[in-house]
Amino acid sequence: MPDAWSQYSKKVMEHFKNPRNVGEMENPDGVGHVGNPVCGDIMELYIKVNDGIIVEAKFKTFGCGAAIATSSIVTEMVKGKRIEEALKISNKAVVEALDGLPPVKMHCSVLAEEALKSAIEDYLNTSPLPP
Amino acid sequence: MRRIYLDHAATTPTRPEVVKSMLPYFADSFGNPSSIHSQGQEAKGAVEEARTKVAELIGARSEEIVFTSGGTEADNFALKGVAYANEHKGNHIITTSIEHHAVMEVCKFLGRRGFTITYLPVDKYGLVNPDDVRKAITDKTILISIIHANNEVGTIEPISEIGKIAKEAEVYFHTDAVQTVGHIPVNVDKLKADLLSISAHKLYGPKGAGALYIRKGTKLVSLIHGGEQEKRRRAGTENVPGIVGLGKAVELAGQEIGKEAERLAYLRDKLIEGFGEKIDHIRLNGHPTRRLPNNVNVSVDFVEGESMLLNLDLEGICASTGSACSSASLEPSHVLLALGLPPEQAHGSLRFTMGRENTEADVERVLEVLPGIVARLRAMSPLLKTQK
């Protein structure tokens, strides 16, 4: 039973094994690109926004199990959220949603938060503000 | 699920024969080797027998073997011991950029305490150039420490050539042979080593036991002070069961060494070849031929090592990676970087190290499983898109 001996929570492993919303998005309203090859994690987050609400989110990630799991869960967390609510999603909330991360993997949750913020910023910079 | 263990460079299972040889020394022959009575002398006899076996395997004399708690202590003993016993002669130490942490961190420690350390580069295969060693020697050089075979990429260094250079320059020469003793022939005279580190658990012996070979006449100070054990070179009541286990493990290794190395090399080459056929954008790290018979280290482009490792583990396959993600530092393996790999390739490394229990079926299973894992992770990778 490898799961039982994993450094990761069941929730992390579940998202790692079955990541949600993987892939690129055609004509996204916002794209976040964070991380670099030196640190070993690269995340790309795409969002589609309708009437100030994030209706779709997708990701592509190069990174460890935690990086994949945080990317996956953050795409779930933002769906259906208003932009201003989504901006409030912190790395702490990502960690909590995954039932915790090992201390050395905390930076992955920070990266997920940054990817989301960067995607929203991209949307706000390129799209006209909703009325 | 059947577990396939392919991480023998990390540790090996203790062989049943070894466990059996150790058992009497926990409760029946539990004596302290320093005790005069028969209970103690029985244990002392067992320790000395093990010493002879270790000495025989590496072509040394019994009195040149000092038992330690393992490879790390042996490395610490060799480096700090020589450094502090010879600082009146000089303060310069030569090593490489691909040493195990047990040597590298000791060098950094000594470097912060007045010693000057030269970290020699390696070529793209991980080989040290003996000429670089020769050129690095100054009149202040007191020690050269170079790993016999690298634990990550498996490259076997030209140790006897370097040993010859050290001898000519009258500089002490240490080699960390933790990955080679019991796996490929090791002879201290052929290697011209003055000090050589051994670990039991890398050769199917128990954890917590090892040895340092110290050529007669080598001046070094002790690391651990206390009682008169090990001729005052290493204090502390001997780990009798561990030492007996080390003795049994080297005895068995000595009997099987050539044949087993040949068998493993076949499996190794089959795995390397299979990877090349089944996965594109994959490359072998380390030397194509001058490598440990059981080591396969590859970099898989566009994917990260830990995520491959986790997926392999879910399939029951235990391997290892040089990716930063498995460490707290976030830096990828210093060895892979020293070979000149760009960080993303170092992050995408996987190491498979085979051992006694592995068969051709295990290799076939890895070849069956890994391509799918790589494809799945590549579909998720933002790196692939930019490369297309």
Mean pLDDT for all residues in chain B: 96
Q: How many C-beta atoms lie closer than 10 Å to residue B375's C-beta?
A: 11
- Does B381 contact A61 at a Cβ distance shorter than 8 Å? yes
Least CA distance to B302: which residue of chain A?
A62
Q: In what order do the strands lie in the sheet with B282-284?
A: B282-284, B295-300, B349-353
pLDDT at A1: 38
Cβ neighbours, 10 Å, residue B114: 9
Per-residue pLDDT at B325 = 60
CA distances (Å), origin A52, targets A80, A117, A119, A129: 10, 15, 14, 8
Give the amino acid at B211.
A
B343 closest CB neighbour out of A38, A60, A65: A38
Tokens encoding B50: 């093990």
- For chain A, the 3-state helix, strand and coil shares in percent, each to the nearest 5, are 45, 20, 30
Total CB pairs under 8 A between chain A and B: 80
Residues of chain B found within 8 Å of residue A65, distances taken between Cβ atoms: 306-307, 310, 325
Three-class SS of residue B213?
A: strand
DSSP string, B153-178: T-BBP-HHHHHHHHHHTT-EEEEE-T
Distance from chain centroid for Cα B274: 26
For the segment A43-68, the average pLDDT, to the nearest whole number, is 96
Of A39, A42, A60, the CB nearest to B330: A39
For the stretch B28-45, pLDDT in tens is: 999 999 999 999 999 999
pLDDT tens digits for range B275-310: 999 999 999 999 999 999 999 999 999 999 999 999
Cβ atoms within 10 Å, residue B335: 28
Residue B136: burial class (beta carbons within 10 Å; 0-12, 13-18, 19+): middle
Q: With beta carbons under 8 A apart, name residues in chain A contacting B305.
A: 64
Compare CB distances from B307 to A6, A63, A105 and report the shortest one's residue.
Answer: A63
- The ipTM value here is 0.92
B42-64 mean pLDDT: 98
> Stretch B50-68: mean pLDDT, rounded?
98
* Cross-chain residue pair B314–A62, CB shorter than 8 Å: no
Alpha-carbon distances of A117 from A92, B124, B137, B343, rounded to whole Å: 14, 40, 54, 26
Cβ-Cβ contacts under 8 Å, B4 against chain A: none
Q: pLDDT at residue A128 above 80? A: no
Residue of B nearest to A34 (CA): B382
On chain A, the residues whose CB falls within 8 A of the CB of B328 are 103-104
Do B306 and A64 form a contact (C-beta atoms < 8 A)?
A: yes
Which residues of A are catalytically annotated? 39, 108
Does B299 reach chain A within 8 Å, measured CB to CB? no
Calculate what percentage of chain B has a pLDDT beyond 90: 95
Q: What angle do CA B138, B191, B86 make, to 5 degrees?
A: 40
Which pTM was predicted? 0.95
Catalytic residues of B: 325
B325 in A contact zone (CB under 8 Å): yes
Spatial strand order of the sheet with A53-62 comes to A30-36, A41-50, A53-62
Q: Using the beta-carbon criterion (under 8 Å), do B323 and A41 form an inter-chain contact?
A: no
pLDDT at A2 over 60: no
pLDDT digits (tens, 9 = 90+) for A58-88: 999 999 999 999 999 999 999 999 999 999 9
Residues from chain A contacting residue B323 (CB–CB below 8 Å): 40, 64
| Edge-to-edge order in the sheet of strand B172-176 | B65-68, B210-214, B195-199, B172-176, B141-145, B92-96, B116-120
Min Cα separation B351/chain A (Å):
16
Cβ-defined contact of B324 to A39 (cutoff 8 Å): yes
* Inter-chain touch B343–A41, beta carbons under 8 Å: no
